[in-house]
């Protein structure tokens, strides 16, 4: 596997990590700050809502859920992350966790608006891979996630952080984790088929592309804002950001 950026600064303790040098809690909190600074205060949710004939508060909620859940699948790859290795296909697991943690966003019953969050989350690494490719390597991933032991306190801290970002209760607990493991083993193809079905929906595609653009920028800003980031590590994260967003780096 490819060594991750910042491998020399592995975070101590049992906290759940987004990358070797940054906890998942820190990651999503910094993304929320970046979203508020770069998008919400500039009326992004209002202009997007007007364009798509939606309520601005709904668009704001969708953006927050996208930010909160995009990397939560990394809870299954903590051993790998702490060894400075990757977390392959965490984005698909993030979508499965969303389905089980917020029943309103279960992909099996969600509408085309709600599905936009799944598309943004599941395809945010599309430059490297697309979800269907997972079907040919899922056994390796299944072994990794079934062998991962999660600290209950650390999982609770992640849930609290996600709830702060979203602004509502989330049912992310041990039973949800086990349900996702089972669906990964038995229902993965159905989930990916559902993703691809919504991805061809024009309305969902437009909304998800807007959510994805927010996700990519805030994700990069969060990485750049990490307290352990060095000037050299910041460079690739900051290079393509809009000028008004660079001021959001803490």
- Provide the total of helices (H) and of strands (E) in the chain, helices listed first: 13, 2
Whether 117 maps to a domain, the answer reads yes
Percentage of the chain beyond pLDDT 90 is 63
Mean pLDDT on 28-44: 92
Whether 9 maps to a domain, the answer reads no
Between 149 and 10, where is the model more confident? 149
The total domain count for the chain is 1
pLDDT score of 104 more than 80:
yes
Mean pLDDT on 95-118: 95
Hey, what are 242's tokens? Answer: 């809009």
What is the per-residue pLDDT for 144?
86
Mean pLDDT on 165-185: 94
Percentage of the chain beyond pLDDT 70 is 85
Whether 147 maps to a domain, the answer reads yes
Whether 81 maps to a domain, the answer reads yes
Kindly report whether the global pTM for this prediction surpasses the value 0.85.
yes
Between 178 and 246, where is the model more confident? 178
Between 233 and 216, where is the model more confident? 216
Whether 4 maps to a domain, the answer reads no
Mean pLDDT on 63-81: 95
What is the per-residue pLDDT for 161?
94
- Which DSSP string corresponds to 193-218? HHHHHHHT-HHHHHHHHHHHHHHHHH
Hey, what are 124's tokens? Answer: 């945010």
Mean pLDDT on 138-162: 90
Whether 225 maps to a domain, the answer reads yes
Which parts of 5-149 fold into alpha helices (H)?
Answer: 24-38, 44-52, 56-69, 78-82, 90-101, 112-122, 138-147
Which residue segment(s) compose the domain that 87 sits in? 17-246
Whether 29 maps to a domain, the answer reads yes
Whether 7 maps to a domain, the answer reads no
Mean pLDDT on 210-225: 87
What is the per-residue pLDDT for 56?
97
Task: Tell me the three state secondary structure of residue 17.
Answer: strand
State the number of CA atoms in the 13 A half-sphere of 162 facing the CB.
Answer: 28
């Amino acid at each position: 596997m490819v060594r991750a950026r910042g491998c020399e600064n592995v975070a101590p303790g049992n906290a759940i990590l987004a990358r070797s040098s940054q906890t998942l809690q820190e990651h999503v909190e910094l993304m929320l700050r970046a979203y508020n600074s770069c998008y919400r205060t500039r009326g992004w949710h209002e202009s997007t809502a007007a364009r798509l004939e939606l309520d601005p508060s709904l668009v704001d909620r969708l953006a927050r859920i996208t930010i909160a859940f995009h990397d939560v699948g990394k809870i299954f790859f903590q051993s790998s992350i702490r060894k400075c290795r990757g977390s392959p296909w965490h984005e698909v697991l993030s979508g499965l966790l969303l389905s089980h943690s917020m029943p309103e966003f279960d992909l099996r019953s969600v509408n085309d608006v709600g599905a936009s969050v799944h598309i943004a989350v599941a395809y945010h690494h599309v430059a490297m891979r697309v979800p269907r490719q997972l079907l040919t390597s899922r056994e390796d991933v299944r072994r990794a996630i079934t062998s991962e032991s999660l600290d209950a306190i650390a999982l609770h801290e992640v849930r609290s952080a996600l709830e702060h970002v979203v602004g509502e209760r989330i049912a992310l607990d041990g039973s949800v984790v086990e349900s996702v493991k089972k669906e990964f083993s038995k229902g993965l193809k159905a989930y990916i088929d559902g993703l691809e079905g919504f991805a061809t929906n024009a309305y969902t595609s437009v909304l998800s592309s807007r959510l994805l653009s927010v996700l990519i920028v805030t994700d990069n800003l969060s990485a750049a804002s990490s307290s352990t980031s060095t000037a050299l590590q910041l460079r690739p994260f900051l290079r393509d950001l809009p000028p008004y967003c660079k001021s959001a780096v803490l």
